[in-house]
């Protein structure tokens, strides 16, 4: 692992699971880690957990409700008031919801958290990432995603408003969407020194992510999953290693590139998704 002294990393989902393990790994590498939690108390609790493993960790809390665009914008403003550059952005937060919920901003909650938050953070922090790349030669974005099988995006129903709602209908397309956003962001920042990659970390047992859905999927995850530290290995490697500094727009597992079959290899789909996310976020890029 390359030392990250004087580097700044921001990690969503850092209050547990993969995100917590990634934040711990980056703190161990010497980065100042901005620990994003749904509330200040949750972020500070995660910081105590990290310091129990890495006593010298340099950590900052950042409260953000990632289902809310207003909260994301406020959190980004707070971050930029402290730091003029961002060396590492790790998007690791996500939700599985048994029932359909709509946010105050009118978006389906799973789509808002699992897709729009990733898009908006990458977009709003792109200038800070560029500044870090200019200063240090590279900046990294790592998006936690998943192998998505034969899943396709229904551009006429991205927010699962039609038919019967279930997490099996709503969540898998968001993993494909993360891969497509990773590819599009990588293409848009090609040549700037900002590299963007996605990771399939595998199943992690005991995570609160599956509390709402329970059932067979929770049993399979808890029975066959690997510890969060195992799943965090590739994201931390992508964020820190010289070897990964020039590779962008790829999906990874166990430090190896994975194929992105079907719609995951469609440049029109990734551009269309980016444009739809930009429309929903009210941004012009």
Q: pLDDT at position 213, please?
A: 45
Name the E strands within the chain. Answer: 8-11, 32-37, 58-63, 88-91, 139-144, 194-199, 251-253, 256-258
- Domain ranges in the chain are 8-281
CB 11 within 8 A of CB 92: yes
Residue pLDDT tens, the chain, 285 long? 456 778 999 999 999 999 999 999 999 999 999 999 999 999 999 999 999 999 999 999 999 999 999 999 999 999 999 999 999 999 999 887 788 999 999 999 999 999 999 999 999 999 999 999 999 999 999 999 999 889 999 999 999 999 998 878 889 999 999 999 999 999 999 999 999 999 999 655 455 554 544 555 443 444 434 566 788 999 999 999 999 999 999 999 999 999 999 999 999 999 999 999 999 999 876
| 152 Cα distance to chain centroid | 20
Confidence at residue 220, expressed as pLDDT on a 0 to 100 scale: 44
Do residues 170 and 177 lie in contact, with contact meaning Cβ atoms separated by under 8 Å? Answer: no
Q: Could you tell me the pTM of the whole model?
A: 0.92
222: which residues sit within 8 A by CB, 6+ positions away?
Answer: 205, 206
- CATH level 3 topology of 8-281: Rossmann fold (3.40.50)
Distance CA 167, CA 134 (A): 41
Residue 284: strand, helix, or coil:
coil
């Amino acid at each position: 692992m390359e030392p990250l002294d004087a580097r700044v990393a921001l990690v969503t989902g850092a209050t547990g699971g993969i995100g917590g393990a990634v934040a711990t790994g980056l703190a161990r590498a010497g980065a100042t880690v901005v620990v994003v939690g749904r509330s200040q108390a949750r972020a500070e609790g995660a910081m105590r957990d990290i310091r129990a493993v890495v006593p010298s960790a340099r950590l900052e809390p950042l409260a953000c409700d990632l289902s809310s665009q207003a909260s994301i914008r406020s959190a980004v403003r707070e971050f930029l008031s402290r730091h003029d550059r961002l060396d590492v952005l790790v998007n690791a937060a996500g939700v599985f919801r048994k029932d359909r919920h709509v946010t105050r901003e009118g978006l389906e909650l799973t789509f808002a958290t699992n897709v729009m938050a990733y898009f908006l953070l990458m977009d709003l922090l792109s200038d800070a990432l560029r500044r870090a790349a200019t200063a240090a030669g590279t900046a990294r974005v790592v998006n936690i995603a998943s192998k998505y099988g034969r899943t396709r995006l229904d551009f006429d129903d991205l927010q699962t408003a039609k038919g019967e709602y279930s997490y099996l209908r709503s969540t898998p397309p968001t993993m494909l969407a993360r891969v497509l956003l990773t590819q599009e962001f990588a293409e848009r920042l090609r040549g700037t020194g900002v590299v963007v990659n996605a990771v399939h970390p595998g199943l992690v047992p005991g995570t609160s992510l599956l509390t709402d859905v329970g059932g067979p999927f929770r049993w399979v995850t808890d029975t066959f999953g690997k510890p969060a530290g195992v799943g965090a290995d590739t994201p931390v490697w992508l964020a820190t290693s010289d070897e990964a500094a020039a590779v962008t727009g790829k999906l990874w597992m166990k430090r190896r590139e994975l194929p992105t079959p079907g719609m995951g290899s469609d440049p029109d789909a990734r551009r269309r998704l980016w444009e739809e996310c930009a429309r929903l976020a009210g941004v012009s890029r």
